[in-house]
Amino acid sequence: MFADHNMADAARSNEIRRLPGLTARLASSACMCVLLSAVLLIGAPAQDPPGDSPKPKPGTPDKAAEPKAKPKAAPKPKPPKKKFYEQKWYDLITLDKANDNVVLKVMPLPFPDQRMPPESKRVGKLKVRLFDKQNEEYEVMWRHIESIEFFGDLVLRETESIVDRAAQLSLADKFKESEGQFDEAYKYFQHLLRQFPNTLGLQESLNAYLYINAGVLLKQNRFAEAFSVLEELSRRDPQYQHRGGRGTVQAAMEIVGDRLIKSYVDRQDYHSARVLLERLQKDYANRLKVGATWEEQLKGVAAKQRDEAAAHLAAKRFQQAHELAGEMLKIWPRLEGGRELVLEIARQYPLVVVAVSQPAFDGHDPSSLDSTPSRRSGNLMYRTLLRFTERGPEGGRYACPYGIVQQSDDRKQLIFDIRDEDTGGRFTGYDLSRYLATLADPGGKSYQSAWASSMSGLEMEGVNRVRVELRRPYVLPHALLQSRLSSDDGLSTRYSQASQDENETRFEPTGDGQGDDDLRPVIVERFYPKPREAITALRKGKIDMIDRILPNDALRLREDPTLVVGQYAFPTLHVLVPNTDNPHLATRTFRRALVYGINREVILKKGLLNQKDVPGCRVVSVPFPAGVTDNDPSAYAYDERIEAREYDPVMAAILLSLTEQQLGALADMREEEAPVLGELVIAHPPFEMPRFVCKQIQTQLDIVGIKCSLSELPPGRTMDPNGEYDLLYLELAMREPLVDVRRIFGPGGTAPSTDPYVGLTLRQLDEAENWKDARQRLHELHRQIHEEVTVIPLWQMVDHFVYHNGLRGVHTSPVFFYQDVDQWRVVPPVLKE
């Protein structure tokens, strides 16, 4: 029993006190009276204070007593509930049965590492301070202490209860709530490891937490996360058995590892599967069988593809052999005999399969500004007299595939030197002079008004040298000669279209190579209307390249070491071209209303770029190249002082009303009926990005009262020859604004302007004799097109392409897709995993 409580000693000193029963029993009548009084006082209802005025009788309101209504103050937000371990530390002492197993909440006991002292030292008295009476010290006899729970033990017990709740929630398929509880438990374990690392049972409890968490992740098919958790458990305890049962960490890793590898294989992510298999063999070769099992299985699948590819090659079915060999390399690139087979296929029949979102069904024009498929296939098939090769400090740099071209210092002459080694003697200066003359002939099929107004004469200086006289100094006459030669001997054609159906077009190199050294590949363009399908085919090895991918996909695919992502040198400019046969669209006020009614920034940044910051992708005020980087020389025509109009639906509605007034007044003057705004038809190419963009535009214009419907053009078409549209979605490729602006806004252009001032500025631009004057004219043109709203400008987009790293010789920043196709070579990749 405890020693008797000495009241006299307690009165003389507050420093040392013996706790009842601890000291005298707390059940003494005096103590019970005090406690009972306290409980009654706390639990009693509040009474009216003495001296208050009597309350009015029911039904007789006391107006004087009614306070004036005051606005209610906003309730203060409740402070977040503290976590268990964030409260002030304490320990619990449980007394023996003789003391009714009373539990005492005391201040932390002074034991190192919160561990009980040895049995030999648990004698005599233990000095403690009650948590609620911290200034008073009491003594407890060691022989009456049943147990002590340190604060670390209490935190661990609370942590284990959180883990149990998480497990129960997962059994009810409440995974979101379960995940929250697991995250909470993790914070508790972190605190324990920092503050109470020596807590008894902590390591065992943490191991159980990892095992249970992995099981819940497995139930949700989150295999990679589950395997990572199990690996952490294995590092902590390779022989772990869950709570003494049959469940072991090794057995769990076998199950989850199998599911994880299968998930990679099911989505053709063979690279990730091989990386994991290699690590399993390295780290767990003697413990886990799943790695060896899957390696053997994948090698078997790859070997079957290799053998089938070899059979197709022997039968001269080159395309089938190419596809199967590509799939084999994706599955297991180091397969015995695989690399040699791919090299043999490439030697006998070099082939590159390109996924395209827009097939070339509408002709092949290398100089097209408004048709991506026509421009892509045209640059594959044809050589032009001069070709844009790269940006320069003032305009582009141009090369001639038949020789060398130079401009005189006074800018009034162009000198061509044709080289026999480039033409094989099949093209001479005489052929060139005749061709240049046809460009200036108004009656010829190749007539170009800009060239006709610039050239004044031709002079032959030998068989292979031609001097062109210009009427006046011209800043960049090379840009006027990006046209295809009309040569009958095939010199201007490097590829021919061998076959075409609705899904595939085959291009074969022409016979103008240098004998057996001509290793140019056969090109097969395969139509994939959905970008995701094309990416899957590339990962699986069914195709070699994708000609265009969105910036958001480019960022993701750059993380794949088996792929190479390239970026085109120039962005494309996205616009809506109005059909001015519609009287509303012929009105500048209405076109401005359209600009204000489309939230271009949101569609671009949130819809297309997924909130990613991609340099060069931006809203523009007119469809002129605005540059990809700061001080980009290709932005010489863009005037940054002119800001793009911001989204303003109120202004759009006002301008729409003003348009109706203007058209009504005009109709009254002509004594005819005013035109009624019907549903606008937005025509667009039939693939994913234009479809999404036009749907967003349709929704936004509907908000301001402009109804629209969508019309998809046939595959491969970018224009509607019948003009059955009101707005046409186009992607323009403007590399050299100096000459391209006339091809878009001039007579006969893609979006010809009827504004006489635009026509005047275009003529002045043609007559500019130096770059200073040319820039001033272009900036003036920028202002006029912006004010006139000749087209509805949307944004400029930086385009990307992607190919597997077994394709060599591909320029990673080309002006056009097939720029260096002559150097493309198929080489099996040697992967470093």
Enumerate the domain spans of the chain.
Answer: 152-266, 355-360+496-568+800-826, 383-492, 572-797
Let me know if the fold of 355-360+496-568+800-826 is the same as that of 383-492: no
C-alpha count within 13 angstroms, C-beta hemisphere, residue 425: 0
Binning pLDDT at 50, 70 and 90, where does residue 489 land? Answer: low
Least confident segment among 42-46, 229-233, 819-823? 42-46
101: exposed, middle or buried (C-beta count within 10 Å: 0-12, 13-18, 19+)?
exposed
Binning pLDDT at 50, 70 and 90, where does residue 72 land? Answer: low
Mean pLDDT of 623-632: 91
Question: Tens digits of per-residue pLDDT, 277-289?
Answer: 999 988 887 789 9
Question: Tens digits of per-residue pLDDT, 117-147?
Answer: 998 888 899 999 999 988 888 899 999 999 9
Is 12 a residue whose pLDDT tops 70? no
Residue at token pair 């040198």: 569
* Predicted local confidence at residue 323, as pLDDT: 85
* Predicted local confidence at residue 91, as pLDDT: 93
Query: Vertex 48, ends 47 and 51: CA angle to 5°?
Result: 140
Among 672, 622, 646, 658, residue whose Cα is nearest residue 787? 622
* Predicted local confidence at residue 515, as pLDDT: 40
Among 766, 775, 398, 768, residue whose Cα is nearest residue 624? 775
Tokens of residue 64, six digits:
């004087």
Give the DSSP H/E element, type plus range, for residue 801: strand 800-804
* Predicted local confidence at residue 71, as pLDDT: 54
Binning pLDDT at 50, 70 and 90, where does residue 35 land? Answer: very low
Buried b (16+ CB within 10 A) or exposed e, 396-421: bebebbbbebebeeebbbbebbbeee
Mean pLDDT, the chain, rounded, equals: 86
Binning pLDDT at 50, 70 and 90, where does residue 87 land? Answer: very high
* Predicted local confidence at residue 74, as pLDDT: 59
Mean pLDDT of 218-222: 95
Tokens of residue 634, six digits:
């290709």
Residue 778, C-beta contacts closer than 8 angstroms, at least 6 positions apart: 624, 636, 637, 737, 738, 741, 765
Query: Vertex 323, ends 321 and 327: CA angle to 5°?
Result: 115
* Predicted local confidence at residue 63, as pLDDT: 41
Is 302 a residue whose pLDDT tops 90? yes
Mean pLDDT of 85-94: 93
Is 13 a residue whose pLDDT tops 70? no
* Predicted local confidence at residue 424, as pLDDT: 78
CATH tag, 152-266: 1.25.40
Among 118, 112, 212, 195, residue whose Cα is nearest residue 154? 195
* Predicted local confidence at residue 268, as pLDDT: 83
* Predicted local confidence at residue 750, as pLDDT: 92
Strands ordered across the beta sheet of 465-470: 403-407, 413-418, 465-470, 455-460
Question: Tens digits of per-residue pLDDT, 318-346?
Answer: 888 988 988 898 899 889 999 899 888 88
Least confident segment among 75-79, 468-472, 490-494, 552-556? 75-79
DSSP string for 318-386: HHHHHHHHHHHHHH-TT-TTHHHHHHHHHHHS-EEEEEESS---S---TT-SS-HHHHHHHHHHB-BSS
821, 789 Cβ separation under 8 angstroms: no
Among 386, 338, 608, 607, residue whose Cα is nearest residue 492? 386
Is 64 a residue whose pLDDT tops 70? no
> Sign (positive/negative) of CA torsion 526, 528, 532, 536?
negative
pTM of the predicted protein model: 0.70
3-class DSSP state for residue 751? coil
Residue 274, C-beta contacts closer than 8 angstroms, at least 6 positions apart: 298, 332, 833
Q: Which CATH class is domain 572-797?
A: alpha beta
Tokens of residue 194, six digits:
């920092």
* Predicted local confidence at residue 130, as pLDDT: 93
Mean pLDDT of 579-608: 96
Q: Does the structural domain 355-360+496-568+800-826 have CATH classification 2.60.40.420?
A: no
* Architecture of the domain defined by 383-492: Alpha-Beta Complex (3.90)
Label the pairing between strands 522-527 and 351-356. parallel
Among 352, 372, 691, 310, residue whose Cα is nearest residue 538? 352
Mean pLDDT of 24-49: 33
Is 32 a residue whose pLDDT tops 80? no
d(CA 486, CA 496): 15
Is 705 a residue whose pLDDT tops 70? yes
Binning pLDDT at 50, 70 and 90, where does residue 62 land? Answer: very low
Mean pLDDT of 781-802: 96
| For the ranges 281-295, 411-425, 641-655, the one whose mean pLDDT is highest | 641-655
The two most distant CA atoms of the chain are separated, in Å, by 133
777, 765 Cβ separation under 8 angstroms: yes
Is 51 a residue whose pLDDT tops 80? no
Least confident segment among 39-53, 60-74, 454-468, 722-736? 39-53
